[in-house]
Amino acid sequence: MKIWGELPKVNEVYKSSKVNITEPASKVKSKKDVISISTIGKEYQIALKALKEVPDIRADKVNGIKEQYASGSYNVKGQEIADKLVKSFMDKKV
């Protein structure tokens, strides 16, 4: 594309436009970041911390069952096992 005509006039338009000068950065007040955690969030953090402190295996129960098994006194009724299996199956959401 060729432009014919008085190009210096185009430059004069840009030169004559007034530019607003901004304030120096030293006069601008900086804002600090603020974070706030809801009470539910705080309670959730406390609960997570407490859960991390609880062991995954209750050693006292495991040792008790081991002793019963070793002595031959550990007996579980088949009906109890079946009831717990059915209950755990029914509790699961589909």
pLDDT tens-digit profile of 53-67?
Answer: 988 888 999 999 999
Confidence of residue 31 (pLDDT cuts 50, 70, 90): confident
DSSP class of residue 27? G
Residue 73 lies in a domain: yes
pLDDT score for 62: 93
Q: Which two tokens stand for residue 31?
A: 């804002």
Residue 65 lies in a domain: yes
Q: Which two tokens stand for residue 10?
A: 């185009």
Residue 63 lies in a domain: yes
pLDDT score for 65: 92
Percent of the chain with pLDDT over 90: 39
Residue 10 lies in a domain: no
Residue 51 lies in a domain: no
Say which residue the tokens 């299996």 belong to. 85
Residue 7 lies in a domain: no
How large is the greatest C-alpha to C-alpha distance in the chain, in angstroms?
110
pTM: 0.36
Residue 62 lies in a domain: yes
Torsion over CA: 83, 85, 90, 91 (sign):
positive
- Structural domain of residue 62, as residue ranges? 58-94
Residue 69 lies in a domain: yes
